[in-house]
Amino acid sequence: MSAKHKTERAITYDKDRIQYLEERIQYLEEVNRHTLDALEMAASIGDFQPNINKLQDTSVLLSETISRIQRLIQFQAIAFFLVDEETNDIFLAKAEPKNNSPYIQNEVDFLIENGIYAWALMERRAVIVSSKDNEKRIILHVMATRSRIKGMFVGLMGKDADIPDISLSLLSIILLNSANAIKSFELYNMIRGREEALKQAYEKLKNTQAQLVQSGKLASIGQLAAGVAHEINNPITFVMLNAPIFEKVWNSVTPILDKYCRTNGDFRVSGMSYTQLQERVPLLLKDIKEGAMRVKRIVENLKDFSRQGPSDLTDRVDVNSTIKAAVELVSNQIKKSTDYFEVEYGLDIPRFKGNTQRIEQVIINLLVNACQALPDKERSIQISTAYDKKASSVLVQVRDQGVGMSAEVLQRIKDPFFTTNRESGGTGLGLAISESIIEDHGGTMKLDSSPGKGTTATVSLPANPSSEGRNRDEEVK
């Protein structure tokens, strides 16, 4: 072989070697870029952590995980099966494309039946198996934190597809971070739920405290009212006892005064002629007796209302008598508020087991609210009672033609401390306490209202038809 020929062969070999090395370098650079890009994608799954509190469910997180995996490995389809924390059952949480869901579910059911799915759960790495028809390759990879399995990743590829080991390792990193993100989301939801429960408990405690404060104020007012009622009771008793005596005296002296008038003519007494006095005194005596009796009834009602008896539900409540007592207590405010007040007492209403004083408090609150809602005295207030035999319920309705309430106000009107009468001293506790009292009796209180059309408050209380006694219209009129 000539030297020239040897030289040509050496040059050819060097060219081939250089070309091979260049291709190898290009391949390694491509692998390096692919690895760096994959590492960046795998690490970036942690971006979810600061935004967990903005997620409503795991679907967004799974969608982002799919996007990152597809940039790493080109799967024909991807699905995530998650574990139900309550039942420990697995369910298909997400699949892309969605039309592959039935196929994937069928393949997973087959893998569960032959035990491969359980084996893949224990491997904590990518497991590659064939589909039932051997036309595809299925990649299974458990999604788990250090302490708990969160689900399973399922990827579909062609039967001849090949996945580099580095890509499978990076897939493991992505799925580990995704599982941790799901766990963080679940923990955040649990904390958020407990915070909400604590907030509700705090609000309930605050409302209870407010009701206790209000009850303390009512107790103090009750003690004061009881003292005032006692002081009024003594002098009004003197009036009631002495008025009949004065009437007898007047009836006794009237014949004498009549005879004197006929003999000597009309005469004046305290600036009034005897003839006028003769007509007015009987009317004055009648007014005195009726007024004294009314004051006596108000005093008795006030004493009953302010009596600090036990709050247990042991009374046989006569709803008509209770309403009559409540109306008398607020009669002055009713007269100042409307010229059209009407009470309609239902017939044959059974007594029910409860607390008369507390039911009276509810009626007073509803009547006061109705009075405050009226813009002028031309608007009316109506209160009625009835017995719903079918529902075995005693019904009380208070209707007013007041200004009414918007839907927003109506939704909040029974919330403690919410009031539309803050300027006039409203505390926002009246309806909240009233509803609490009715609920303690096993009943309901419903409000219907619209702006400009007034408000109707309907109280429904469970009745016991076999209870002793019946409320009759004649008893309270």
Last residue of a domain, one of 308, 327, 344: 308
Instruction: Tell me, yes or no, whether 452 and 315 share the same domain.
Output: yes
Same domain, yes or no, for 79 and 150?
Answer: yes
Residue 5 domain flag: no
Give dist(CA 53, CA 192) in Å, integer.
9
For tokens 């799915």, the residue is: 117
462 with 356, same domain: the answer is yes
Clarify whether residues 443 and 339 are in a common domain.
Answer: yes
Within this chain, do residues 296 and 319 fall inside the same structural domain, yes or no?
no
Within this chain, do residues 304 and 349 fall inside the same structural domain, yes or no? Answer: no
- Whether 178 is covered by a domain: the verdict is no
Q: For residue 464, which amino acid is it?
A: N
In total, how many domains does the chain have? 3
Lookup: tokens for 455: 């408000």
Residues 43, 47, 49, 54: what is their CA dihedral angle, to the nearest 10 degrees? -160
Beta strands 315-317; 340-344: pairing state: unpaired
Q: What's residue 291's pLDDT?
A: 81
pTM recorded for the entire structure = 0.43
pLDDT at 476: 45
Does residue 152 lie within any of the structural domains?
Answer: yes
Counting every residue written for the chain, the total comes to 477
Whether residue 130 sits in one domain with residue 96: yes
The CA-atom distances, in angstroms, between 280 and each of 252, 274, 285 are 16, 10, 9
Residue that finishes a domain, picked among 261, 277, 308: 308
- Kindly tell me the burial class for residue 29, based on how many C-beta atoms sit within 10 Å of its own C-beta (0-12, 13-18, 19 or more): exposed
Residue 354, in any domain of the structure = yes
* Residues 129, 205 within the same domain: no
Inter-residue contact 457 to 381 (CB < 8 Å) = no
- Count of Cβ atoms closer than 10 Å to residue 258 Cβ: 12
Write the single-letter amino acid at 41. M
Query: Does residue 331 sit within a domain?
Result: yes
Residues 263 and 345 in one domain: no
Phi first, then psi: what are they for 443, rounded to 5°?
-110, -170
Residues 258 and 346 grouped into a single domain: no
Largest alpha-carbon pair distance within the chain?
184
Q: Is residue 343 domain-shared with residue 451, that is, in the same domain?
A: yes
* Domain boundary pick from 264, 292, 308: 308
**pLDDT for the residue numbered 306:** 56
CATH number of the domain within which 368 lies: 3.30.565.10
- The answer to the question of residue 264 being in a domain is yes
Q: Which two tokens stand for residue 72?
A: 């790493």
- Asked if residue 472 and residue 360 are part of one domain, the reply reads yes
In a domain, 452, yes or no: yes
User: How far is residue 333's CA from residue 322's CA, in Å, rounded to a whole number?
Assistant: 18
Domain holding 220, by residue range, is 196-308
Structural domain includes residue 296? yes
- Give the CATH number for residue 79: 3.30.450.40
Task: State the 10-residue block means of pLDDT for the chain, 477 residues long.
Answer: 60 70 75 66 53 66 84 88 85 89 91 90 88 88 88 89 80 85 82 83 74 62 66 80 87 88 86 86 86 75 56 84 90 91 93 89 89 91 93 94 81 61 52 81 89 90 61 44
